[in-house]
């Protein structure tokens, strides 16, 4: 229970007024709860989508769903997305890329990446029918957090130190197996989401290979980018699935 609370405090801004005595092992072993924390985030997203729909229809609902996710996570992964796009796509050598990613200033690539990600999320959520949207949104952060587990398990750390060093290259098969079990059980809420366990894995592996080709590994920022991009890919998966089912 301590590690679950720690992960909620780490990944969200949900106020839990508990002071925990933890160490790096608690962070590492707590990774098994990433999908569970994702479910908690999904509950907020679904709730605010419903409120928005009642107040103003599908567009307001889509905006509120995206806004509450940013609020409840403190923009943690969006920050990583911005830093990743500023650094990785600056066309600089590895050392310079890593320096740029540590810079707290927001560059053009970061601003564009964050803006386009938010717009695409709103547009794709808006495009999903009301009969399907709640089950999809509830599980969206579950799978994005599972992709964080994939990203940590199947990569090496590109820096000598940093927050990403808590997880990257240290996740065991047992950690991954338990996280997969949690995700599989949660997926029973929407069985069409179950194949994304594999789809998300393939997407994560391709992303890891791409980033590793740039900086010889992954960082905390690139994990954050993976989380955000996997949510876009998850929404795209369901939009494609809907088209195929209609055809």
- For residues 9-32, one letter each, b for 16 or more C-beta atoms within 10 angstroms of the residue's C-beta and e for the rest, the string is bbbbeeeeeeeeeeeeebbbbbbb
Handedness of CA 101, 103, 109, 110 (dihedral sign): positive
Task: Identify the helix (H) or strand (E) that includes residue 120.
Answer: helix 108-127
What's the predicted TM-score (pTM) here?
0.94
pLDDT confidence band for 247 (50 / 70 / 90): low
Model confidence pLDDT, tens digit, residues 205-234 = 999 999 999 999 999 999 999 999 999 999
pLDDT at residue 152 greater than cutoff 80 = yes
Residue boundaries of the structural domains of the chain: 2-246
């Amino acid at each position: 229970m301590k590690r679950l609370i720690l992960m909620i405090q780490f990944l969200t801004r949900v106020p839990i007024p508990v002071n925990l005595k933890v160490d790096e092992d608690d962070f590492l072993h707590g990774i098994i709860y990433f999908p569970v924390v994702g479910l908690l985030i999904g509950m907020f997203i679904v709730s605010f989508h419903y409120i928005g729909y009642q107040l103003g229809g599908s567009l307001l609902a889509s905006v509120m769903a995206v806004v509450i996710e940013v609020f409840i996570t403190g923009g943690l992964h969006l920050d990583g997305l911005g830093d990743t796009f500023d650094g990785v796509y600056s066309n600089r050598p590895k050392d310079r890329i890593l320096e740029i990613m540590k810079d707290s200033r927001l560059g053009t690539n970061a601003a564009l990446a964050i803006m386009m990600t938010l717009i695409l999320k709103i547009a794709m959520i808006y495009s999903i029918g009301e009969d399907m949207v709640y089950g999809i949104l509830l599980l969206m952060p579950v799978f994005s957090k599972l992709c964080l587990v994939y990203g940590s398990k199947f990569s090496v750390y590109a820096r000598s130190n940093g927050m990403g060093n808590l997880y990257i290259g240290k996740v065991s098969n047992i950690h991954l197996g338990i996280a997969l079990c949690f995700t599989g059980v949660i997926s029973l809420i929407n069985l069409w989401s179950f194949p994304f366990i594999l789809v998300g894995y393939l997407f994560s592996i391709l992303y890891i290979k791409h980033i590793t080709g740039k900086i010889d590994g992954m960082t905390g920022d690139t994990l954050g980018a993976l989380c955000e991009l996997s949510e876009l890919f998850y929404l795209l998966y369901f939009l494609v699935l809907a088209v195929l089912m209609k055809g």
